[in-house]
Amino acid sequence: MTHQPGQGPVQITAEEIQARIQELARKIEADHVGSVPHLICVLNGAFPFFADLVRAIQMPVTVDFLQASSYGGGQESTGEVKLVKDLQFPIKDRDVIVVEDIVDTGLTLSYLMSYLEGRHPSSLRIASLLSKPSRRKVEITIDYLGFTIPNAYVYGFGLDRAQLDRNLPFITSEEPSGDE
């Protein structure tokens, strides 16, 4: 049976997610008056957040998709990032917003940001649905943050448990493993 929340400390309902996405969309609109922001979805985890966010933004936008995968696999990122799918469109002189599902250690996004900065956008901002600041190894400024969460493994709304549960309309969590 799917669509059942877990027992962990982080529980964010579908309604709470959707309300927060509307607030972030208003902030993005206000920050991009007179521009056409270019939103980049970091696959796979960001896809539901990205789809809802772009539809909430009431101004013209363009979109592109990037897929990064950290070497080693597992639930922990190593900081060594491989680009599995590169951008389709140039970002030079564009107002770019990178859209992520979660910033954990920050290593993945830190790599992606330097990669994107090298392509000379006019501005480069970050939207992330979730952030686990207690796990951070590198400083990341999240311009549009959905929710700050404690250190628990979360899944749903794009985030997976062994590739499953990305289709849950809410975010839920497992009990902390205790060794972190």
Catalytic residues, by residue number, are 104
Min. distance of Cβ 60 from Mg ion in angstroms?
27
According to the binding rule CB under 6 A, does residue 153 interact with ligand XMP?
yes
According to the binding rule CB under 6 A, does residue 105 interact with ligand XMP?
yes
Given a contact cutoff of 8 angstroms between Cβ atoms, the answer to whether 177 and 171 are in contact is no
Residue span 100-129 as binding mask against Mg ion, x where in contact by CB under 5 A, dash where not: -x----------------------------
According to the binding rule CB under 6 A, does residue 45 interact with ligand XMP?
yes
Min. distance of Cβ 118 from ligand XMP in angstroms?
19
User: What's the CA gap between 108 and 111, in Å, rounded?
Assistant: 5
Task: Figure out which of the listed residues 6, 48, 50, 77 binds ligand XMP, where binding follows CB under 6 A.
Answer: 77
According to the binding rule CB under 6 A, does residue 128 interact with ligand XMP?
no
User: What's the CA gap between 24 and 32, in Å, rounded?
Assistant: 12
Min. distance of Cβ 158 from Mg ion in angstroms?
8
Min. distance of Cβ 102 from Mg ion in angstroms?
6
Task: Figure out which of the listed residues 6, 45, 121, 156 binds Mg ion, where binding follows CB under 5 A.
Answer: 45
User: What's the CA gap between 154 and 145, in Å, rounded?
Assistant: 16
Burial 120-141 (b: 16+ CB within 10 A, else e): ebeebbbbbbbbbeebeeeebe
DSSP 8-59: SS--B-HHHHHHHHHHHHHHHHHHTTTS--EEEEEETTTHHHHHHHHHH--S
Q: Would you give the DSSP letter of residue 71?
A: T
Can you read off the two tokens belonging to residue 154?
A: 């979360």
Task: Figure out which of the listed residues 25, 124, 159, 168 binds ligand XMP, where binding follows CB under 6 A.
Answer: 159
In the complex, the residues that contact Mg ion under the rule CB under 5 A are: 45, 101
In the complex, the residues that contact ligand XMP under the rule CB under 6 A are: 45, 77, 100-109, 153-155, 159-160
